[in-house]
Amino acid sequence: MTDHLTISTESDLTSSDLTSSARPTTTVTRRSLLGGAGIAVGAAVLVSPPSMPGIAPAAAQPVSADLRPLDAAFKRRAFEVRELCASNNEKIPIPPHPTNGDEARYTNKIGSDSRGLPHDKRGEVEQAAWQALYTACQSGDPADFEKIPLGGTRKLVNPVGAQAVSLSGVNPTQIAIPPAPALASAERGGEAVEVYWQSLLRDVPLTELRDDTSNRDVLAATEELNKLPDFRGPKSGGRVTPGTLFRANALYFDPTDPKGRSVTPPGVLDGPLVSQFLLRDVPYAAQWISAQIRTVLPANEFLTEYEEWLAIQNGAAPKRRLQFDATPRYITTGRDLAEYIHAGPALGWAAALILATPGGGADQRYSGMFTPAEPVSYPTNPYRKSKTQSPAGATFGLPYVQALLATGISNSVRAAYWQKYFVHRTVRPEAYGALAHHRLANGVSDYPLHDNFLKSEALDRSKAKYGTYLLSQTYPEASPLHSAYPGGATSVGAVTATILKAFFDESRVIVNPVQPDPADPTRLVPYNGPPLTVGGELNKLAVNFGFGRNWAGIHWRSDASASMAIGEEVAIGMLRDERITLRESFEGFSFTRFDGSRVTI
DSSP H or E segment with residue 43: helix 30-46
CA distance readout (Å), 25 to 67, 77, 81: 11, 10, 15
Question: How much is the pLDDT for 65?
Answer: 66
Question: How much is the pLDDT for 59?
Answer: 53
Q: How far apart are CA 269 and CA 235, in angstroms?
A: 10
Asked whether the CA dihedral 200, 202, 204, 206 is positive or negative, the reply is positive
Question: How much is the pLDDT for 372?
Answer: 84
Closest CA to 520 of 279, 330, 272, 365: 330
The list of the chain residues with pLDDT below 50 reads: 1, 11-58
Question: How much is the pLDDT for 392?
Answer: 94
Closest CA to 191 of 584, 456, 570, 463: 456
Regarding pTM above 0.85, the answer is: yes
Closest CA to 13 of 102, 81, 74: 81
Q: How far apart are CA 469 and CA 460, in angstroms?
A: 8
Strand duo 282-284 + 287-289: pairing:
antiparallel
Q: Give the helix, strand, coil percentages of the chain, each rounded to 5.
A: 40, 10, 50
CA distance readout (Å), 238 to 1, 106, 233, 235, 243: 19, 35, 11, 5, 13
Q: Name the 3-class secondary structure at 315.
A: coil
Question: How much is the pLDDT for 185?
Answer: 98
Q: Strands, E, within 83-208: which ranges?
A: none
Q: How far apart are CA 431 and CA 550, in angstroms?
A: 14
Question: How much is the pLDDT for 374?
Answer: 83
Question: How much is the pLDDT for 39?
Answer: 28
Q: How far apart are CA 131 and CA 560, in angstroms?
A: 28
Closest CA to 163 of 144, 135, 140, 143: 140
Say if residues 11 and 576 touch (Cβ distance below 8 Å).
no
Give domain 174-601's CATH number out of 3.40.30.10, 1.10.760.10, 1.10.3720.10, 1.10.606.10: 1.10.606.10
Q: How far apart are CA 547 and CA 558, in angstroms?
A: 10
* Buried/exposed code over 264-298 (b: 16+ C-beta within 10 A; e: otherwise): bbbbbbbbbbbbbbbbbbbbeeeebbebbbebbee
Question: How much is the pLDDT for 361?
Answer: 84
Question: How much is the pLDDT for 35?
Answer: 32
Question: How much is the pLDDT for 40?
Answer: 31
DSSP H or E segment with residue 85: helix 69-90
End-to-end C-alpha distance for the chain, whole angstroms = 18
Question: How much is the pLDDT for 18?
Answer: 44
As beta bridge partners, residue 288 has: 283
Q: Which residues touch 479 (CB under 8 Å, ≥6 apart)?
A: 115, 428, 429, 430, 473, 554, 555
Burial zone of 305 (CB within 10 Å; 0-12 exposed, 13-18 middle, 19+ buried): middle
Question: How much is the pLDDT for 61?
Answer: 56
Q: How far apart are CA 598 and CA 378, in angstroms?
A: 14
